[in-house]
Amino acid sequence: MSNKPIGIFDSGVGGTSIWKEVHQLLPNENTIYLSDSSNAPYGPKGKEKITALSIKNTELLLKKGCKLIIVACNTATTNSIDYLRENYNVPFIGIEPAIKPAALNTTTNAVGILATKGTLSSALFSHTSGRFASHIKIVEQEGEGIVELIESGKLYSNEMESLLSTYLKPMVKANIDYLVLGCTHYPYLIPILEELLPDHVKIIDSGEAVARQTKVILEQNGLKNTKIFIPRTEFYTNGSVKVMQSLLGEKFKIDLLDF
Instruction: By CB under 6 A, name the one of 10, 21, 142, 205 that touches ligand DGL.
Output: 10
Task: Report in angstroms how near the CB of residue 184 gets to ligand DGL at its nearest.
Answer: 4
- Measure the CA–CA gap between 102 and 219, rounded to whole angstroms: 28
Closest by Cα among 59, 71, 62 to 4: 62
Q: Which uninterrupted H or E stretch holds 255?
A: strand 254-256
Helix (H, G, I), strand (E, B) or coil at 258: coil
- Comparing CB distances to ligand DGL, the nearer of 75 and 240 is 75
Torsion angles phi and psi, residue 70, rounded to 5: -100, 120
Tell whether residue 30 is a contact of ligand DGL (CB under 6 A): no
Q: Which stretch binds ligand DGL (CB under 6 A): 24-32, 83-91, 165-173, 177-185?
A: 177-185
Does residue 73 carry a catalytic annotation? Answer: yes
- Beta-ladder partners of 114: 141, 181
Tell me the window of 68-76, 103-111, 122-130, 215-223 that interacts with ligand DGL (CB under 6 A).
Answer: 68-76
What is the chain's alpha carbon radius of gyration, rounded to the nearest angstrom?
18
Between 183 and 223, name the residue whose CB sits nearer to ligand DGL. Answer: 183
End-to-end CA distance of the chain: 30
Has 183 been annotated as catalytic?
A: yes
Angle 13-45-60 from CA coordinates, rounded to 5°: 50
- Is residue 60 within 8 A of residue 69, CB to CB? The reply is no
Query: How far is residue 34's CA from residue 61's CA, in Å, rounded to a whole number?
Result: 8
Selecting among 73, 102, 114, 201, the annotated active-site residue is 73
Task: Tell whether residue 183 is a contact of ligand DGL (CB under 6 A).
Answer: yes
Number of residues engaging ligand DGL in binding (CB under 6 A)? 18
Binding of ligand DGL by 99 (CB under 6 A):
no
Report if residue 147 touches ligand DGL, rule: CB under 6 A: yes
Over the range 148-183, which residues count as b (16 or more CB within 10 Å of their CB) and which as e? ebbbeeebeeeebeebbeebbeebbeeebbbbbbbb
Indicate whether 40 belongs to the interface with ligand DGL (CB under 6 A).
Answer: yes
Smallest distance, Å, CB 194 to ligand DGL? 20
Nearest approach in angstroms of CB 107 to ligand DGL is: 28
| Strands 178-182 and 254-256, sheet pairing | unpaired
**Among 171-179, 183-191, 207-215, 243-251, the segment contacting ligand DGL (CB under 6 A):** 183-191
Phi and psi dihedrals of 137, rounded to 5? Answer: -90, 125
Interface with ligand DGL (CB under 6 A), residue from 7, 19, 37, 43? 43
Active-site residue (options: 168, 183, 197, 211): 183
To ligand DGL, the closest distance from the beta carbon of 19 in angstroms equals 12
Asked if 75 is part of the footprint of ligand DGL (rule: CB under 6 A), the reply reads yes
Q: Which helix (H) or strand (E) holds 123?
A: helix 123-132
Q: With binding defined as CB under 6 A, does residue 54 bind ligand DGL? A: no
The residue ranges that bind ligand DGL (CB under 6 A) are: 10-12, 14-15, 40-43, 73-75, 116, 119, 147, 183-185
Active site amino acids: 73, 183
